[in-house]
Structure 1
Amino acid sequence: MNAVLLAVIVLFALAISRVHIVLSLILAAVVGGLVGGLGFNETLTAFSDGLGGGATIALSYALLGAFAVGLSKTGLPDVLAEKLISMSGRDVTGKSVTRVKALLLSFLLLLAISSQNALPIHIAFIPIVIPPLLVLFNELKLDRRLVATILTFGLVTPYMLLPVGFGGIYLNEILLPNVETNGMTVGDVNIVSIMAIPALGMLVGLITAFFHYRKPRSYETIQLGPSDYEVRTLSPLKIWLTAAVILVVLVVQLQTESMIASAVTGLILLTLLRLIPWSEADDIFTSGMRMMAFIGFVMIAASGFAAVIRATGAIEPLVSGASGIMGDSQFVAALVMLLVGLVITLGIGSSFSTVPIIAAIFVPLCIQYGFSVEATIAIIGTAGALGDAGSPASDSTLGPTSGLNADGQHDHLRETVWPTFLHYNIPLIIFGLIAAMVL
């Protein structure tokens, strides 16, 4: 069996068997290297040499995690939660139900989207904002599956489309460099216009979710402990200073295109302006970096895995063999690549870590089939994002469940994983194929 194919199969088998993904990547790389004729020491050397490719991204993630926790400690997310909770004091009967639902869901959608760029706190806002709102959700008889799909849309779509914040990492630091590394010159492409077509698929999925989960659904009202979800009162000065820090961080992102520079700037300002207690700064930064360290280590290991795959020299025979099986159809080739990306991301749980793995195989395959640079980027970018919505191990599903299940009435698999898989992965495949064909 081809060494690359066997390595991917071993990786997926270990991942779905719940073997830790970093260990799975290392073991799969060793299997691929040995079968590919590298020898044990050569495999480890290739793996080690490839680790540096993910170091910058891992550091970016760690620093963003620290900034996210620091920002959450300023109390700004609590203020946002308080504004939403205040709606529960309104009359939410009769005609006002639709208006309050629309306002509530729109705010949650905008908050989730901004958590990836303008307010780069990732999923840190969900355990703060969502649990206090569950009573209001119950009054409105709001289907929590709809809330889960809205949150997941906001966590996934921005990094697919917008090269700012986490999107800057996914598009500019992972996707484009990996396409270059594996043999295709990217040049001065417009990444936003390329990824707009797959992102439109996410929008279609969101619209269908609104229709699918529109009917009222009853839940038991369970009062949560106020000590767990107590909303703090902040001075207007502190709110404005925190908002100013966010603005400065966004400007630094846009000017430097460096998440490391923007995160460090944010951490320094939060500390100097005393928006987080000086005595707690070290613990806050450490806990934040720990929160994102897992993803960082997965990215580093994925870079090592991809380096071993390239070193085996087994990619070219795999591409030739795949071409023989799939025939001359670009459509079939694009569909197979998208489905492979879906399977790998479902197992790993991280689209950011999937791209280095699949790019090593897909770029030569795209060259073989005559796909344009833009189509290749669209295929790999979509294949990487496929499965992020719908993977049981993904932050994009674990985050919404952590908030919606605070009272024990929201099942992770049946009410977050399956709805997000259904509404997002099918449209992504369709619109990913459209992008591959028209670009």
Structure 2
Amino acid sequence: MNSVVIAVLLMLALSLARVNVVISLLASAVVGGLLGGLDLAATLAAFNGGLGGGAGVALSYALLGAFAMAIASSGLPHALADGLARAVQRGGGGRSVKWAIFGALLLLAISSQNLLPIHIAFIPLLVPPLLFTLGQLRVDRRLLACIITFGLITPYMFLPVGFGEIFLKQILLGSIAKAGLDANDVDVMHAMAIPALGMALGLAIACFSYRKPRDYNLARLARAEHEDARYTPRTLLVASIAVVVTFITQLWADSMLLGALAGFTVCVAGGALRWRDADGVFMEGMKMMAGIGLIMIAASGFAEVLKATGDVARLVAASVDVIGDSKGLAVFLMLLVGLVVTLGIGSSFSTVPILATLYVPLSLQLGLSPTAIVCLIGTAGALGDAGSPVSDSTLGPTAGLNVDGQHDHMWDTVVPTFLHYNLPLLAAGWVAVMAL
């Protein structure tokens, strides 16, 4: 069997068996490298060579965690939770508040990709303060993970604005052009409309799947969220300014790292966080996000090993051998290969250039139209972003939902998003390519 398939499946199996994701990535990279024809030294060299690719994002996550902890210490989350609790009491029930929070999270996630392209920076800042009220309403956090993940993925694969402009125009159309097909005249929104509807269907199914109440330990959440933190109008004002400064700095400098650092500085300088507590809060916040940072670093090394084996191309060639004259089977297998590759690499943006080189000649041979080719490669790249243990589209939601240790990354984020998004997207992508 192809080494890429074995490595990805092994990584998923170990992670689902609750082996630490970093260990799963390292073990799977070694197995994949050896099966792909690399010796141990070459495998480790490729893994080490790829580590730097995730270091910048990992450091940004760590600083963002420190800033999130500073915000928690300021009392702003506590004040927000108190306000939501009063809203629930005034309304005589939490149904309207619950759906208002769902809608707000969805809009925040969507706007983080297009309107205010801050990506996942909003999650550890704005999601934890909502958890206490949602816990009182007995909301299943798996639904929250699905809502956020939908908002992180669907906009960039459908709307050519913000990160969508980068994915659809610069990466997708650019990679297809480099592979020998000029598709600049293709309407990308038309090409990706049906796959986007598949994602929307997945979200609707998730709202049904996780509609039943689920109980969480609220006392444990209160301790994790600094519910005992005292706040004053001044600390709340400074913390609010710090959040705004963080987002503005990130947009201006295009750097999550500088944004988090600016926000933390405002918290300390403005008195929302006492100077003598700053170092302890900073280290506590960095430790909170350290695990996610290490996963991202290890994922970059794992992806580099998969590329070094050259077995992605061999996987496509093996798929071609079983296609025969069936266009439908060819499209399905190409989408399936995209799912496997993205599950391992964890980034649609990195998968598309790899697949475009291989898929464009094959698609032209099959007689697919330029619009269908754009849809095929775009969908194949997006498949696996949801449901990958090493994707920031799953790591980000876990970072916000697991502040109290009651939300498992694999079983509460990865598996739910995989089932509710990849299966509808695979079906919708196949229908779209065959129809276009």
Query: Could you tell me the TM-score, scaled by structure 2's length?
Result: 0.72
Q: Secondary structure at the match of 2:265?
A: helix
Letter in structure 1 aligned against 2:359: C
The aligned counterpart of 2:238 is 241
Paired position in structure 2 for 1:107: 101
User: Does the Cα contact within 8 Å between 1:119 and 1:246 map onto a contact in 2?
Assistant: no
1:153 aligned partner:
147
Deviation at 1:86, TM superposition (A): 0.2
Matched with 1:353 is 346
Counterpart of 1:141 in structure 2 is: none
Which residue is equivalent to 2:425? 428
* Native 8 Å contact 1:168 1:259 kept in 2: no
Post-superposition CA distance 1:364-385 (Å, at most 9, x none): 4433433868546632542132
Q: Give a deviation string over 1:76-123, Cα, whole Å, max 9, x none.
A: 22222111100243262xxxx5xx522432134414653764993525
Q: Which residue of 2 aligns with 1:366?
A: 359
Q: Distance in 2 between matches of 1:212 and 1:343?
A: 25
Partner of 1:317: 314
2:95 partner letter: K
Deviation at 1:354, TM superposition (A): 5.5
Counterpart contact for 1:3–1:32, Cα < 8 Å: yes
Larger mean CA deviation between 302-311 and 329-338 belongs to: 329-338
Maintained 8 Å contact 1:6/1:32: yes
Task: Output the CA distance in 2 between the equivalents of 1:277 and 1:192.
Answer: 50
* 1:45-60 paired onto structure 2 within 5 Å: 45-60=45-60
In structure 1, the gaps of 5 or more residues are 139-143
Deviations 1:326-381 (Å, cap 9, x if unpaired)?
A: 446665455445556667888x8xxx835588668644443343386854663254
Counterpart Cα distance in 1 of 2:387 and 2:147: 13
Residues in 1 aligned to 2:3 and 2:415: alpha-carbon distance in whole angstroms: 33
Alignment partners' CA distance in 1, 2:231 and 2:382: 41
AA matched with 1:46: A
Counterpart of 1:299, as a letter, is: M
Moved more, 377-386 or 283-292: 377-386
Match of 1:307 in 2: 304
Q: Cα deviations across residues 131-190 of structure 1 (Å, max 9, x unaligned)?
A: 34544x27xxxxx34x64245312542355369xxx9899969x9789989995899999
Alignment of 1:226-305 (within 5 A): 228=223, 230=227, 234-305=231-302
In structure 1, distance between residues paired with 2:417 and 2:234: 39
Question: Which string of whole-angstrom CA distances, capped at 9 and with x for unpartnered residues, describes residues 299-322 of structure 1?
Answer: 222222222222223333322111
Contact 1:58 1:296 in 2 (8 A): yes
Secondary structure of the structure 2 residue equivalent to 1:384: coil
Q: 1:260 to 1:326 in 2, by over 3 A?
A: farther
The sequence identity of aligned pairs, in percent, is 34
After superposition, where does 1:192-211 map in structure 2 within 5 Å? 198-210=195-207
* CA gap 1:233/1:202 in 2 versus in 1, 3 angstroms: farther
Partner residue in 2 for 1:87: 87
Distance 2:270 2:243 in 1: 13
Alignment partner of 1:385: what SS?
A: coil
CA distance in 2, matches of 1:290, 1:191: 45
Q: Which runs of 5+ in 2 are unaligned?
A: 113-117, 365-369
Q: What SS class does the counterpart of residue 19 from structure 2 fall into?
A: coil
Matched residues in 2 for 1:273 and 1:125: separation? 20
Counterpart position of 2:123: 122
Give the corresponding residue for 1:77.
77
Asked if the contact 1:179/1:363 (under 8 Å) is kept, the reply is: no
SS of alignment partner, residue 152 of structure 1: helix
**AA matched with 1:87:** A
Query: Is the partner of 2:53 in helix, strand or coil?
Result: helix
> Deviations for 1:28-79, whole angstroms, at most 9, x for unmatched residues?
2222322333322222222222222222222222222222222222222222
The residue matched to 1:370 in structure 2 has which SS? helix
Counterpart secondary structure, 1:234: coil
1:250–1:311 CA distance, 2 compared to 1 (3 A): same
Q: Which AA in structure 2 matches 1:385? A: D
> Which letter does structure 2 place at the counterpart of 1:273?
G
2:7 corresponds to:
7
Q: Distance in 2 between matches of 1:190 and 1:277?
A: 55
Classify the secondary structure of the residue corresponding to 1:315.
Answer: helix
Paired with 2:409 and 2:60, the residues of 1 have a C-alpha distance of 29
Query: 3-state SS of the aligned residue for 2:346?
Result: helix
Q: 1:261 to 1:281 in 2, by over 3 A?
A: same
Counterpart for residue 383 of structure 2: 383
- Seen in structure 2, the aligned counterparts of structure 1 residues 385 and 289 have a Cα distance that, compared at 3 Å, is same
| CA–CA separation in structure 2 for the residues paired with 1:420 and 1:188 | 32
CA pair 367-192 structure 1, distance change in 2 beyond 3 A = closer
Q: Give the corresponding residue for 2:37.
A: 37
The residue number in structure 1 matching 2:367 is none
Give the aligned residue type for 2:246: V
Counterpart amino acid of 2:74? T
Distance between the aligned counterparts of 1:411 and 1:12, measured in 2? 15
Query: Closer, same or farther in 2 for the Cα pair 1:353/1:91, shift >3 Å?
Result: closer
* Alignment size in residue pairs: 411
> Does the CA-based 8 Å contact 1:3-1:36 persist in structure 2?
yes
